[in-house]
């Protein structure tokens, strides 16, 4: 029996000879390598395109705490990011980053809004108030004073957002009921559970702002 005949017999019995298997695997490896290289090249190309698109900046003017700021922003940047990283107003806190906790609450046209869920470009043309804007120089505002006096915080991380939520409520309803206070701050979470003190601070702040001390 010659070698070719033996090879043929083995192929008939096994379906694929060892030599044929090695040849098949060689072709497969080359094909896989080529495909992987093509995918990598396409991914690199896509990544480069994305980075280039992300570097385009837009000039906007933001009216914050009675001052106008001209800033260059990417369209995807949130108001929270621009306030902290571009303008330096770090009183607005980063926490969940997805509109669940309220630590980043600011006022836009006197209405409480989550800065982490608001694009900076959306805020152009509107009046923005942050925790810093409630102060008169170094003097605390009425809501800030009430929070201090009523011990309405523990770790204090959520406090700026809580204060802004109360400020927004009192601008809409100067003398709120306890039910209205609970509803007004319901979008702001406190891990330390200082809610009773927060509600009391809101009541005290209402008296201070209306002159009913």
The pLDDT, as a whole number, for residue 47 is: 46
Q: What is the spatial distance between Cα 24 and Cα 27, in angstroms, rounded to a whole number?
A: 5
Mean pLDDT for each 10-residue chunk of the chain (213 residues)?
Answer: 51 50 48 51 49 72 98 97 98 96 98 98 98 96 98 96 98 97 97 97 96 71
- Helices (H) and strands (E) counted in the chain, each on its own, are 7, 5
Q: Which residue has the tokens 């490896």?
A: 29
pLDDT score at 170: 98
CA 150 to each of CA 21, 178, 200, 203: distance values in angstroms, whole numbers, following the listed order: 81, 16, 7, 10
Report in angstroms the alpha-carbon separations of 106 from 35, 36, 75, 121.
51, 48, 20, 15
Categorise residue 153: left if φ over 0, alpha if ψ from -120 to 50, beta otherwise: beta
């Amino acid at each position: 029996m010659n070698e070719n005949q033996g090879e043929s017999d083995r192929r008939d019995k096994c379906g694929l000879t060892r030599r044929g298997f090695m040849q098949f695997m060689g072709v497969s490896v080359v094909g896989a390598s080529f495909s992987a290289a093509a995918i990598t090249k396409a991914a690199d190309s896509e990544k480069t395109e994305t980075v280039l698109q992300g570097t385009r900046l837009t000039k906007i003017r933001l009216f914050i705490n009675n001052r106008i700021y001209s800033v260059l922003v990417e369209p995807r940047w949130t108001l929270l990011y621009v306030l902290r990283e571009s303008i330096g107003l770090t009183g607005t806190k980063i926490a969940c980053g997805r509109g669940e906790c309220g630590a980043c609450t600011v006022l836009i046209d006197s209405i409480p809004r989550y800065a982490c869920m608001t694009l900076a470009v959306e805020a152009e043309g509107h009046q923005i108030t942050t925790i810093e804007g409630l102060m008169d120089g170094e003097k605390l505002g009425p809501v800030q004073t009430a929070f201090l006096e009523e011990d309405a915080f523990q770790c204090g991380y959520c406090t700026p957002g809580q204060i802004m939520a109360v400020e927004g409520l009192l601008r809409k309803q100067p003398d709120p009921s306890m039910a209205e206070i609970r509803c007004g701050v319901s979008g702001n979470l406190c891990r330390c559970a200082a809610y009773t003190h927060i509600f009391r601070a809101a009541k005290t702040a209402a008296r201070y702002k209306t002159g009913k001390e």
